[in-house]
Each structure stands twice: as C-alpha cells, then as structure tokens.
Structure 1
Amino acid sequence: MEKKATRDALGAEVLALGLEHKDVFVIDCDVAKSCKTLEFAAKLPEQHINVGISEQNAVGIAAGLATTGKVPFVVTYAIFGSMRAVEQIRQETCYTKLNVKILCSHGGLTPANDGASHQCVEDMGILRTIPNMTVIMPADYNSARKLIAAAYKYNGPVYLRFTRDAIPCIYGEDEEFEIGKAKCLKEGKDLTIMANGDTVSIALEAAKKLEEEGIHAQVYDFHTIKPLDVDAVNKAIEENGKIITVEDHNIINGLGSAVCEIVAEAGKGKVHRIGVQDQFGESAPYEELLKKNGITSENIVKCAKDMID
C-alpha cells in the first residue's frame, strides 16, 4: 500500500487553494520546509507571510487578516501551534469566531527521534475544549487534501493536525468528506473500532485479523473530533455496545474521551481506549513508540477478544 505523509497534502492543497482563491494567506512560523509551504511562498509571495519563530504573533496577524475577509492559514508544528499560541487562539480567533485555520504538522508521536519536546500528544484535547473551535485529523493524504478544502469553505476557526511520517493511503482521490461526519470504512456486527489520523490504517489491519478469526468489527474514521459525530457513536451503542477507540494522542481528552462522554450520556455501552497512556514520549523510532503505548493492531485484536468474551 502506498504511503504518504499528510503534511505533504498540507503543502499541496494550500497551494492549490491559494492559486484559485486570492483571499487565502499562509502565515508561516519559519518551518516552511518541514511543513511543505515553500512552494506556496515561491509562487504566491504576496499571499505569504513568514513571522519567524513567533507563533503567538502568527495567530494575531491571522486574526487581523480574517477581519478584512481573508482566509489565513497559520502553519507550524502541533506542539507550538496548540500550546505556545493557545491563548491567542482562544482570545483572538475563537472568542471572536474569526475565520482562521491552524494547520499543524508533526502531530502525535510522529516526530519520533526528536523526542518528547516535539511529540504533541495533547493538542486535540486542548483545542477541543475551546468554544467555537473545530478539530480535525485526517487519516491519509487524500482525505487531508479534501478536509483542508472543506476547512477553507467552513466559516470559523479550524484546527487541523498532520503527520510528519508517511502513512498508508486509504482513500481514493474522489472520496468526499464532510466536517463532523465520521466515515464507515467497514461494516461489522460484533464491535466497533473508532480511530482517526495515522491510527485508522492500524484499525483496519486489526479488523482484517479479527475477520480471519470470525470476529466482525465495524471500523470508523472519526476524522473530526469536534464536532463529534454523535449519531455514529449512538448507532454503535445500539448495534453492539462495544467500542474500541484508537488514537495517536493522550487517551485523556482526545477521541476516546469524546466517545466516552456520549456513551456515558446514553447510559449503556462499553468503551476501551487505546492511545498514549498519559505519558510523555521519548526519542525512539515511531513504530516503537506506538508499540510502547499499545497502539498496534495486535493490541486492538487482544482488546476486541477480551471485550467480546
């Protein structure tokens, strides 16, 4: 299966939008090479601003541009965009509901050998607690391009998270996506696996292994954590009541927590959360970091069997 990093989709789609729409601006934080916006800067210099290592200023400038009808895309690493600039995101974009898009690469454990300082496993949880913010993590290259395009049309603040490492391509170029609507990738009657981002391919691999053992797992891509597809969660509760969530994020306040909130309100159903086990990352290969946190197809299979028994 072909693999591509979703940060490559970031660069390609923002450039395509900028060429088509003159209201698109990129606000870079001196990481254009890593975040793939060098070509945008070269081809559209009048729509590009590099503020340097100054994420708080980037958000402030983006907010100002948004008040004039522009659609600014702040581009940086997840660790900086979600934490260093969180006050400005809250006060200057979400409180005022300005049309600012925060595009952050190197989300989750994918910075790998860069260590805990660059591995952002808290970002989606932080951003989903802020009113008026929409939070998205695409599962592959093609879905990333489609969801960036959808974010451009979406009125209001949006946080999109991307991977540094290449991940399997799941979707075709013609697949359509709607913000706030999960994608059912596989039907199954025994349990439901809900994943997002780089873990969707792992969930699909686990479902295939379970199928070989006579266990039929439904698989959803929850690319939007906020607003969460409540209908999809309630459907899973009614159909089998057994849910496994999988994410490259702290199990606290991420996808697993969001799903648990709906299950608790329903008053029935069981959830097992697979993700970063409320700990910082460390310098190691990406696959080893996933394995250390149980974010593997083997662990999903084990949890599914335990849940069904």
Structure 2
Amino acid sequence: MKKIATRESYGKSLVELGGKYKELVVLDSDLACATKTGIFKEQYPERHIDCGIAECNMTGIAAGLATCGKIPFISSFAMFVAGRNFEQIRNSIGYPHLNVKIGATHAGITVGEDGATHQCNEDIALMRTIPGMTVIVPADDIEARQAMEAAVHHKGPVYLRFGRGEVPIINQPDYKFQLGKGVILKKGTDVTIVATGGSVPECLEAAKKLESQNISAEVINIHTIKPIDEETILRSAEKTGKVVTVEEHSTIGGLGSAVCDLLSEKLPTKIKKLGMNDVYGESGSARELLQKYKLDDEGIYASIMEFI
C-alpha cells in the first residue's frame, strides 16, 4: 500500500492551488523545508513570506493580508502555530472571522524523536474552542489535497492538521471530500469506531482483527472535527450501542470529547476514548510510540476487545 506524509500533500497542494487562485499567499516561520511550503516558495517566490521564528507576528501579517482580499496560509509545526500562537489566532483571526488558513504540520506523537516538547497533542482542543473555527484532520494524501481546496473555498478561518510520517492511502482516486461530512469506511453492527487523521488506517486494521473474533466493527472517518457530522455518528451509535473514538491527540478536548458532547446530549451511549490519556509523549520512533500508547492497530484492537 502506497504511503505519503500528509505534510507532503500540504506542500504540493499549495503549489497546485497557487496556480488556480492568484490571491493565495503562504507565510512560514523558518520551517519551509519541514512544512513543505518551500515547494510553493520555489514556484511562487513573490507570494511566499518567511517571517522567521516569529509565529505571532506571522499571524498578524496574515490577518492584514486577509483584510486586503488575499487568502493567506500560515504554516509551522502544530506545537508552534497552534500552541505558541493561540492568542493571536483567537484575537487576530478568530474574533474578526478573517479568511486565514492555518497549516499545522508535525502534529501528534508520530513526530517521533523530536520528543514531548514538539509532540502537540492539544491543538485540536485549542482550535475547537475558537468560535467560528473549522477544524480538519485529513487521513491520507487524497483526502488532504481535497481538504485543502475545500479550505480555500470556505470563507473564514480553517485549521488543517497534518502529520510528519508517511501514512497509507486508504481512499480511492474518485473520493469526494465533503466539509463536515464523515465517511463510513466499513459497515458493522457490534461497535462503532470513530477515528480521525493517521489513526484511521490503524482502525481499519484493528477492525480486521475484530472480524476474526466475529465482532463486526463500523469504522467512521471523521475528517472534520468542527463542525462534526452529528447525523452519521448518531445513526451508527444507535445501531451498535457502543462507540470507541481513536485519535493521535489528548483524550481531553479532541475528537473523543466532541463525540462525547454529542452523545451525552442527544443519545447517551456506552463510549471509550482512545488517545493520549493526560500524559506527555516521549522521544522514540513513530511506530514505537504508537505501540507504547496503544494507538497502533494491535493496541486499538486489544482496547476494543476489553471494552466490549
């Protein structure tokens, strides 16, 4: 199965979209090589601004550009563009509801050897709290590219979360991304698995293991955390009666919390959240870390078996 890092998808999509939308500009904070915005810089140097290690200033510049009719993409690691930069995103982009897109790469524990300081497991929670912010976490290359174009067409701030490492391409070439609409990748009757981003392919593998134990799992890819697809989740939860959420993010404030908010209000359901359980990550290879925190296919399978 072919694998591509979604940060690569981000960089290549910027070039493609730059050719179609002349108002698109890209700002980076001295990480153009890692975030892959350097590809855009080579093609459109006059529309790329390296702001240096000054994420907050970068956000202010992007806000100004947005008021002049531009479509700015600001880029950095999730830890910096969402964490260090939260106040500026909230007050300079969110409050005036400006048309700025936030490209956050190197999210989650699969940043790997960079360690806990760079493994941002809190960004979805932060961005969800900003009124009017759309939050997207693509699962693979095909979805990431289409999500990028959807973000350009959407009027208002959008947070896009990308990973460092390569992930399998799970979608077919004819896949059609719909903002705010979840995708049922596998139908089932015994348990609903709701996943996002790089956790989606791991959940598909875990579902195969569950099938070997005669457990039918429905797997839903929720690529848009906000606004979340309430209808798809509620329909599946009503059918299976058990829900498991999986994300490479803290279990506090992310996908799991969004699903719990929905179910507790509209359809009380037995639920288990899988993710980073109020802990920091650590240095290690991406695969070793997924295994340690039970976010690989085997760990997800074992957790679901115990749950049901």
Give yes or no for the alignment of 1:83 onto 2:83: yes
Q: How does 1:238-277 map to 2 (within 5 A)?
A: 238-277=238-277
User: 1:186 offset after TM fit, Å?
Assistant: 0.5
Instruction: Structure 2 unaligned segments of length 5 or more: list them.
Output: none
User: 1:91 offset after TM fit, Å?
Assistant: 0.5
Contact 2:238 2:267 in 1 (8 A): no
- What is the rounded CA distance, in whole Å, between the counterparts of 2:267 and 2:74 in structure 1? 40
Counterpart residue identity of residue 285, structure 1: S
Contact 2:234 2:267 in 1 (8 A): no
- The two structures have a TM-score, normalised by structure 2, of 0.98
- What is the rounded CA distance, in whole Å, between the counterparts of 1:235 and 1:105 in structure 2? 32
Corresponding residue for residue 123 of structure 1: 123
- What is the rounded CA distance, in whole Å, between the counterparts of 2:79 and 2:95 in structure 1? 22
Q: How does 1:1-309 map to 2 (within 5 A)?
A: 1-308=1-308
- What is the rounded CA distance, in whole Å, between the counterparts of 2:184 and 2:105 in structure 1? 25
Contact 1:22 1:47 in 2 (8 A): no
Counterpart residue identity of residue 224, structure 1: T
User: 1:267 offset after TM fit, Å?
Assistant: 4.6
Structure 1 segments, 4+ long, off by >3 Å, are none
Contact 1:246 1:256 in 2 (8 A): yes
User: 1:269 offset after TM fit, Å?
Assistant: 0.9
- What is the rounded CA distance, in whole Å, between the counterparts of 2:220 and 2:233 in structure 1? 10
- What is the rounded CA distance, in whole Å, between the counterparts of 1:129 and 1:21 in structure 2? 30
Counterpart residue identity of residue 97, structure 2: K
Counterpart residue identity of residue 91, structure 1: N
Q: Write the deviation string for residues 268-295 of structure 1: whole angstroms up to 9, x where unpaired.
A: 2111111111111111111121122221
- What is the rounded CA distance, in whole Å, between the counterparts of 1:226 and 1:130 in structure 2? 10
User: 1:172 offset after TM fit, Å?
Assistant: 2.4
Instruction: Structure 1 unaligned segments of length 5 or more: list them.
Output: none
- What is the rounded CA distance, in whole Å, between the counterparts of 2:39 and 2:269 in structure 1? 48
SS where residue 19 of structure 1 aligns? helix
Contact 1:192 1:220 in 2 (8 A): yes
SS where residue 198 of structure 2 aligns? helix
- What is the rounded CA distance, in whole Å, between the counterparts of 2:34 and 2:303 in structure 1? 36
User: 1:189 offset after TM fit, Å?
Assistant: 0.8
Counterpart residue identity of residue 246, structure 1: V
- The two structures have a TM-score, normalised by structure 1, of 0.97
Please say which of residues 47-56 and 170-179 is displaced more in the overlay: 170-179
Q: Write the deviation string for residues 31-88 of structure 1: whole angstroms up to 9, x where unpaired.
A: 1101111121121112111111110011111111111111000011100000111111
- What is the rounded CA distance, in whole Å, between the counterparts of 1:36 and 1:105 in structure 2? 9
- What is the rounded CA distance, in whole Å, between the counterparts of 2:245 and 2:39 in structure 1? 37
User: 1:240 offset after TM fit, Å?
Assistant: 1.4
Q: Count matched residues.
A: 308
- What is the rounded CA distance, in whole Å, between the counterparts of 2:114 and 2:307 in structure 1? 36
Contact 1:242 1:307 in 2 (8 A): no
- What is the rounded CA distance, in whole Å, between the counterparts of 1:232 and 1:12 in structure 2? 31
Please say which of residues 294-303 and 168-177 is displaced more in the overlay: 294-303
Please say which of residues 285-294 and 142-151 is displaced more in the overlay: 285-294
Contact 1:241 1:268 in 2 (8 A): no
SS where residue 97 of structure 2 aligns? coil
